[in-house]
A and B are shown apart, each in its own frame.
Chain A
Amino acid sequence: MSASVGNSRVKAAILGSGNIGSDLMHKLLKQQGWMEMALLAGIDPRSEGLARARSLGVNASHDGVNAILDDPDIRIVFDATSAGAHIKVAELLREAGKMAIDLTPAAVGPYVVPPVNLEEHLDKPNINMITCGGQATIPLVYAVNRVTPVAYAEMVSTVASLSAGPGTRQNIDEFTFTTSRGLETLGGARLGKAIIVLNPADPPILMRNTVYVVPDQDELDEQAITDSVERMVTDVQRYVPGYRLKNPPVFDRRDTPWGMKTIIAMLLEVEGAGDYLPTYAGNLDIMTASAYRVGELIAERSQEVTV
């Protein structure tokens, strides 16, 4: 890069002009960080998202990934399309030397949840942000697992119908697969399970997640677990201010396939920042906020190298 003055920003593009792409674009425009919002690329010339970007003075194209590949200065690409679409472009982006931050459940690259492993994969060409429900719930499983080993973790995500776009709807199995794997590989559970429920209530409900954890052991230091969970909530709130537990973790005895066990239930609510979509769409907000955080760190680190 020619800019070695130190404070020039890294060019970032967003692929996908739907809900997630638009919300992320607003975050990039609002926060003057290490990234510059260089391009919003979609595939539909009539896309409302592209029109909105242009009206905000953002460069927009309906030429999809080609528009991104045509600009050698774009270093970071956020993919906000769908799992199937991402698998098709991942290799092209890698060959072009562009860093992909994948917001679909395609899971081409390693999983990242900022408060769990933000720095672990910054050197990889492709990073996967799992799913919105994964971003919301994996931190809590991790918080329990760092105190006592977790045998089983189950998450139930309830999202307002209006905030589940066509990508989520046509790939609902991918949500389940990718989220349960995330509960295992990052959360630390030996076995993970994910359930998603759409709720059409009007006015729309805030995104809700319930996390159930079955620890291996029955003798639990409840205070230590509660403290760890609360510390984690504070960590997530640094980048998603509307992330909160409705109650302290609830300890209950239940019949499970592993016998009568103590289970921990955590009821979580995520209120979005309202950057582009209304605040009820906390599921989109936690996704874009997490991806933004990863992008910022990559941009910052690449600047340190350049300077």
Chain B
Amino acid sequence: MKSPRIIDTTLRDGSHAMRHQFTLDQVREVTKALDEAGVHVIEVTHGDGLAGSSIQYGFSLTHEMEMIEAARSVTKNARIAVLQIPGIGTRKELTEAIDRGAQMVRIATQCTEADISEQHFGIAKEMGLEAVGFLMMAHMRSPEVLVEQAGLMESYGADCVYIVDSAGAMLPGDVVDRVHAFKDALQIPVGFHAHNNLGLAVGNTVAALEAGADWVDGTLRGLGAGAGNAATEAIVAVLDKMGSNPGLDVFRLMAAAEFVVAPFMTFQPIPDRDAIAIGYAGVYSTFLLHAKRLGEKYGVDPVEILVELGRRKAMAGQEDWILDVTLDLARCAKEGVTA
């Protein structure tokens, strides 16, 4: 097995678990530790990408552009990436992020809506960035449908396209089928991004690599939405044992997770009851904390909320539906009927 490119997204996916409260000091410390350990790419943005700071997703404590600039100022070798979700972030924030030092943009769409990303791939390529397609909620469609969407992104100039298991709902076989389909159809590298809601994040990442994935994502301590992501330090330790470590320092990563990230974490994401419900129901991992908060406020079990959101086929970014579903369930409970 060849050695993959490792992207750490502690400072982007981890933003969800931190309720978007990263400080500039934390950004600099984490970036420095990752850079020194040899991580190739470090993603820094609000959890929902550029311009994600909002009532819908949660306001950022620190301005996104300052975070990007701070991260860039301390890297020696790693490249700084930002996430952009068309419909949330626009070319305005993207061009500013590039001015502030972003070297790569990951452009994320629902796995069926790749054609809304054409404008942004155009800008990124024109400005000399690496541009990566990020097909979210990829468990919801068949490999055939996904490949078609990935092909669109490739035609817009993508340097790599990701299969993103936003809901942490995929089984290893689902991952393998999708990676095989992408490898067969695309000329560009294929990436995989895992969530640990069913406890499968590292396992699915290994499955993706064995099936031929070229790039994989991790976060230190698995800090991320839902039950978190595949822990970068664990992925690299596993790669090392498999003889496919692309030159990263396993012990430095373990130390970064333990001594840099763990001390500021407000909780350790794990596959607890609510997180497993997310993977089981196949809903967006970031719904976790919103469902917990609203469930408590209205006296509704978060698991019920999450399962109902899955039934209504909520997609990435539809946090407002959590309030809607919670109010419906609270009303049903009051009236003694089922939803």
Contact = CB atoms under 8 A, between A and B. Distances in A.
A and B found bound together: yes
Interface of A: 154, 156, 158, 161, 166, 169-173, 175-177, 193, 195-201, 205, 208, 210, 212, 214, 246-247, 250, 252, 254-257, 263, 265, 267
Interface of B: 51, 54-56, 59, 86-88, 90-92, 110, 112-113, 115-116, 118-119, 297, 312-318, 320-321, 323-324, 327
B336 to A, nearest CB: 19
Given A197-B315, A200-B315, A169 B115 contact: yes
A210 B320 contact: yes
User: Among the interface residues B86, B112, B297, B320, which one has the most CB atoms of the partner chain A within 10 A?
Assistant: B320
Contact of B55 (A154, A169, A199, A201): A154
B315 A170 contact: no
Contacts, number: 97
Contact of B323 (A200, A201, A255, A265): A265
Given A170-B118, A170-B119, A156 B56 contact: yes
24 contacts: A154-B54, A158-B318, A161-B112, A170-B115, A172-B87, A173-B86, A177-B92, A193-B54, A195-B56, A197-B317, A198-B110, A198-B112, A198-B315, A199-B110, A199-B313, A199-B314, A199-B315, A200-B110, A201-B315, A205-B312, A208-B321, A246-B327, A247-B327, A254-B55
Q: Which 9 pairs of residues, A with B, have the shortest CB-CB distance?
A: A210-B320, A201-B313, A200-B112, A212-B55, A173-B90, A196-B87, A197-B317, A198-B113, A169-B116
Given A197-B315, A199-B313, A208-B324, 12 more contacts: A161-B113, A170-B115, A172-B119, A173-B91, A177-B90, A198-B110, A210-B323, A246-B327, A250-B323, A254-B55, A257-B59, A267-B324
Contacts of B119: 170-173
Contacts of B321: 158, 208
B171 to A, nearest CB: 22
Nearest to B113: A198
A166 B113 CA distance: 11
A269 to B, nearest CB: 9
A152 B225 CA distance: 27
Nearest to B316: A197
Contacts of B51: 193
B294 to A, nearest CB: 9
Contacts of B113: 161, 169, 198, 200
Contacts of B323: 210, 250, 265, 267
A169 B321 CA distance: 23
Nearest to A256: B59
Contacts of B316: 197
Given A158-B318, A170-B118, A250-B327, A210 B110 contact: no
Contacts of A161: 110, 112-113
Contacts of A205: 312-313
Nearest to B314: A199
B116 A198 contact: yes
Nearest to A248: B327
A265 B321 CA distance: 11
Contacts of A246: 324, 327
Contacts of B91: 173
Contacts of B315: 197-201
Given A177-B90, A200-B110, A256-B59, A195 B317 contact: yes
A55 B92 CA distance: 44
A212 B323 CA distance: 12
B313 A156 contact: no
Contacts of A158: 318, 320-321
A199 B86 CA distance: 13
Nearest to B320: A210
A265 B118 CA distance: 32
A175 B87 CA distance: 8
Contacts of B55: 154, 212, 214, 254, 256, 263, 265
B110 A195 contact: no
A263 B317 CA distance: 20
A193 B89 CA distance: 11
Contacts of B320: 156, 158, 208, 210, 265, 267
